[in-house]
């Protein structure tokens, strides 16, 4: 039995539709009611279309009554990060530079696949301007907050996706990840965030951040992440760089488990420093992996931080985006983005090639590591969520969001699959995430180990306190 539809996972909803215990209209109403009750205090949505969602849900319900569901997600309430083109809705990317006018007549590949599989689209969720940083606030949409403590950040750049899923405003969402943007907010909000191998989920239009950029699911369970991957990984001819469609269902592969898996554990990648409560929660999770039958070895990678190379690639892309809006655009963007572009300006073609060489070296090292170990585990983040409305924690020596996300962006450089799953809470009741990384194209192994860990814990079932009475303003 489902105790509350707003907290059901997508797979639970589909089972309930199949049995007749619940209907797509009931589930969609539950999600919309949750948005009405909670989003004023969280600010996860930048667009909600209740009438359109209920119409889609009604059509789905009719298909289920005929025992003719369409695809793998018929009737599942879904939100979309506002960086992904969605037919009929403006894609504003958190920026005042983007005009809401226009035809908006095309879906990104991920959205097209969800429509084909019957998903009910609730609306679009917030992103920082052009997805440029690891928290979610923007000139257009304001500050998105963390359901576990609305004075704290939800993380980013898929912070709207994670906050919505965490607070019961739909069971899953599609996000993007160019340096941790799915895993960072998942870690801060107690949700599951999966960045697949580059090219597994087709992207269109091509990201200005090039081959750093991935799309993937943010969900309440690993099962839901695998199910969404079965949908999103189908081919789309518009992405020339995408790989072939998987030959096996990710959802079916979850039964592979973790017994006998060889796992390397790096608490810091050689250069990070962890909050003590984060360190304790992650080490406890690693201990449980051992108890569940994995062969886990703590290793010292001894890496130096590849952040300078990452900055060349990342901020070159960000500068190109802003440049496309004309010479005065810099005056109308997030002031912190403008300052970051000034800090990271003047890169040459030689700098870009040097950064690419660092990337290639890191990829080779990870390839060799995975000849010895099936998987690598780390903390998702070294710290719990900090004050909302800031790019970096108070007292930080750096102005760059990468200074507090040392464990996520390296695996965008290497294009590897990586997932964040909840692994505990701090004494302030803030979630902590465990990151599981696999070799390129080892997505199924990452998901199956994450599912085995999730099955031995109840972290994914924890729920934040209600924010219905929250009076904190969020849109300024």
- Whether the Cβ atoms of residue 90 and residue 210 lie closer than 8 Å to each other: no
Closest CA to 200 of 248, 241, 249: 241
Please give the Cα distance from 127 to 82 (Å, whole number).
6
Q: Which residue has the tokens 């928290």?
A: 135
408: its two tokens: 């996520």
Which secondary structure element, helix H or strand E, spans residue 15, and what is its range? helix 10-19
Active site residue 350: no
Please give the Cα distance from 27 to 75 (Å, whole number).
8
Please give the Cα distance from 145 to 136 (Å, whole number).
8
- List 127, 154, 157, 158, catalytic entry: 157
- Whether the Cβ atoms of residue 164 and residue 125 lie closer than 8 Å to each other: yes
- Whether the Cβ atoms of residue 413 and residue 310 lie closer than 8 Å to each other: yes
Active site residue 81: yes
The DSSP bridge partners found for residue 431 are: 425
Phi–psi pair at 284, nearest 5 degrees: -65, -40
Q: Which residue has the tokens 């009750």?
A: 37
- What number of other Cβ atoms are within 10 A of residue 241's Cβ? 11
Active site residue 398: no
Please give the Cα distance from 168 to 25 (Å, whole number).
16
Characterize the bridge pairing of strands 77-81 and 120-125.
parallel
Cβ neighbours of residue 346 under 8 Å, at least 6 residues apart? none
- List 23, 79, 81, 133, catalytic entry: 81
Cα-to-chain-centroid distance, residue 8: 19
Please give the Cα distance from 116 to 78 (Å, whole number).
13
- List 60, 95, 181, 221, catalytic entry: 181
Please give the Cα distance from 146 to 189 (Å, whole number).
6
Beta strands in 84-158 (DSSP E): 120-125, 137-138, 142-143, 145-146, 149-153
Among all residues, which ones are annotated catalytic?
81, 157, 181
């Amino acid at each position: 039995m489902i105790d509350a539809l707003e907290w059901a996972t997508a797979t639970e909803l589909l089972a309930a539709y199949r049995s007749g215990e619940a209907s797509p209209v009931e589930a969609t109403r539950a999600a919309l009611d949750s948005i009405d009750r909670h989003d004023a205090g969280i600010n996860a949505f930048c667009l909600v279309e209740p009438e359109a969602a209920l119409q889609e849900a009604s059509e789905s319900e009719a298909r289920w009554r005929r025992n003719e569901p369409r695809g793998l997600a018929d009737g599942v309430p879904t939100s979309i990060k506002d960086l992904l083109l969605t037919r009929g809705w403006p894609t504003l990317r958190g920026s005042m530079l983007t005009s809401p006018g226009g035809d908006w007549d095309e879906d990104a590949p991920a959205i097209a696949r969800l429509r084909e599989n019957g998903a009910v689209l609730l609306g679009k969720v917030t992103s920082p301007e052009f997805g440029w940083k690891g928290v979610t606030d923007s000139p257009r949409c304001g500050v998105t907050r963390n359901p576990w403590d609305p004075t704290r950040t939800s993380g980013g750049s898929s912070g709207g996706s994670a906050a919505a899923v965490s607070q019961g405003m739909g069971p899953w969402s599609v996000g993007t990840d160019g340096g941790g943007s799915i895993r960072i907010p998942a870690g801060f909000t107690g949700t599951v965030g999966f960045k697949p191998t580059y090219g597994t989920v087709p992207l269109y239009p091509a990201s200005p951040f090039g081959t750093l950029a991935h799309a993937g699911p943010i969900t309440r369970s690993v099962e839901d992440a695998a199910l969404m991957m079965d949908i999103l990984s189908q081919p789309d001819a518009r992405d020339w760089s995408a790989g072939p469609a998987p030959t096996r269902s990710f959802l079916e592969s979850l039964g592979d488990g973790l017994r006998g898996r060889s796992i390397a554990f790096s608490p810091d990648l050689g250069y990070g420093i962890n909050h003590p409560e984060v360190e304790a929660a992650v080490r406890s999770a690693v201990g449980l992996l051992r108890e569940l039958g994995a062969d886990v070895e703590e290793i010292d990678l001894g890496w130096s931080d590849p952040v300078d190379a990452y900055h060349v690639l990342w901020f070159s892309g960000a500068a190109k985006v802003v440049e496309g809006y004309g010479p005065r655009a810099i005056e109308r963007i997030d002031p912190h983005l403008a300052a970051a572009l000034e800090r990271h300006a003047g890169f040459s073609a030689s700098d870009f090639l040097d950064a690419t060489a660092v990337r290639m070296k890191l990829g080779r090292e990870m390839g060799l590591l995975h000849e010895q170990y099936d998987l690598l585990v780390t903390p998702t983040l070294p710290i719990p969520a900090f004050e909302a409305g800031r790019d970096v924690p108070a007292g930080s020596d750096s102005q760059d969001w990468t200074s507090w996300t040392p464990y996520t962006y390296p695996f965008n450089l290497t294009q590897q699959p990586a997932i964040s799953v909840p692994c505990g809470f701090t004494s302030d009741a803030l979630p902590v995430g465990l990151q599981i990384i696999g070799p390129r194209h080892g997505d199924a192994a990452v998901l199956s180990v994450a599912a085995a860990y999730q099955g031995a814990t109840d972290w994914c079932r924890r729920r934040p306190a209600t924010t219905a009475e929250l009076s904190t303003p969020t849109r300024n």
